[in-house]
Amino acid sequence: MKFSRTALLGAVPVVLAAFGFLLLQPNKEIVSQSTYANINTPPMKAVFVQDNYAYLGYGNRLIVVDVSDPKAPAFVGQSPELQNQVETIFVFENYVYVIDSKKIVHLIDVEDKSSPLIDGRMYEQTNETIIRDVKADGTYVYVIEDDLARRAQSGLRILLLSDFSSVEFVKTTFRANTVQLTESYIYFTDPGGYVNPRLPLEQGRLHVLDRTNFSKIAVVDRFYNIFEVKKNVGYLLHGIDFPDEGILGSLHVDLMDMNDYSILDTIEYESKIVNYHLAVDDESIYVAVEGTIAEPDLTIYPSGLTIIDSTNPSNLVHVSFCETIIPNDIAIKDGYVFLATNEGLLIFNAIEPDKPFIQSSYLPKTEARVESERNINFGLNFDAFFPLVTQTCD
């Protein structure tokens, strides 16, 4: 979907007015969406929503926000600082599993949501292995390890929750990317690629394990990235069957015969995607995309939220697109879409998927942000601020 370049907003007086208004406000935890963002304020890299709470990866901390009323998100608590930036979050019961920027898995206890505690249990690799994804249940932690140096060492690591000791490692053929759990099965992906530019392309594969004993039930060839599984339908972006960027496919996986599968439908984006995040409910697919500027004509493909009707997986239908600043993660709950962005949390009301709109936003008040607001009276460098892209939906 092509959009014209969004006009830059505001001159110095507008900036002064915006921050002058902020200076008059009390130092509160909730900050409404500002017109300008300080680039020294850390980006919000991750969001996970469970029950009435949103768990946010903001800088080196986990922040808990009450979203029982999406119109008025409210600060609840924050963890102590980790050594590195929080990049991925998964929540199960009263534990939050965090992957940081150094690809270390941390466990944070959120039984008291007003005072999250770093548990101390952690898992890391010391070689060139990247931890790309994590899921968990009450007994095990499922970690995707992608070894960039020794491709044959990539795969799914299964840890005991009690002490994070390894109980199983299932290798992939080439690499590893994502893991999903259903009641009976574990799905994880090998995205494939080139071992050597002179060798043929290594096919991507979907690996399926039995959750009761971790035995491999099947390997589905010609697969790339599965992000969600709903009712035996896998929803993926990219793939050997869909080689171009900007392709979303729904794939039916028959659990009675995992050696056979059928592609139900595909839908193509007109935009060039740099990065993407996917969430699925019973009726819709929500895709948060990071756009780009395409060469050679410098066409702008904007970042934003795409909503696709998937009530019939054999007939995917694009219903709406909202242009936003760059999204880093996505979560959904009861018709609301939560986007973690470089400017904070955006909450979209998508109860009517063809008419989404921003319901509210949330940005934690940090010491750095307070200091930046104070500096507005002392010759602040205005190059350190940039305007928000106009939030528009079609």
CA angle 192/305/327 to nearest 5° reads 70
- Name the average pLDDT for the chain: 75
Which range is least confidently modeled, 146-150, 315-319, 356-360? 146-150
Helix, strand, coil percent values for the chain (each to nearest 5): 5, 50, 45
Predicted TM-score (pTM) of the model is 0.80
Measure Cα distances from 145 to 150, 151, 195 in Å.
11, 10, 17
Which range is least confidently modeled, 110-124, 152-166, 205-219, 294-308? 294-308
Could you tell me the two tokens for 208?
């399926």
62 within 8 A of 108, measured Cβ to Cβ: yes
pLDDT of residue 267: 73
The beta strands (E) that lie in 313-375 are given as 317-323, 327-333, 336-341, 344-349, 357-364
What digits encode the pLDDT tens for the residues 285-320?
Answer: 898 888 777 666 776 778 889 898 988 888 888 899
DSSP SS3 for 374? helix
pLDDT of residue 196: 62
312 within 8 A of 286, measured Cβ to Cβ: no
Q: Is a pLDDT exceeding 60 seen at residue 141?
A: yes
CA angle 291/64/104 to nearest 5° reads 70
Token look-up 């931890």 returns 131
At 40, is the pLDDT very low, low, confident or very high (cuts 50, 70, 90)?
A: low
Could you tell me the two tokens for 332?
């959904």
Measure Cα distances from 270 to 158, 259, 266, 289, 306 in Å.
39, 32, 13, 12, 12
pLDDT of residue 11: 34
DSSP SS3 for 222? coil
Q: Is a pLDDT exceeding 50 seen at residue 230?
A: yes
Higher-confidence position of 128 and 389: 128
21 within 8 A of 391, measured Cβ to Cβ: no
Q: Which residue stretches of 254-363 are H helix?
A: none
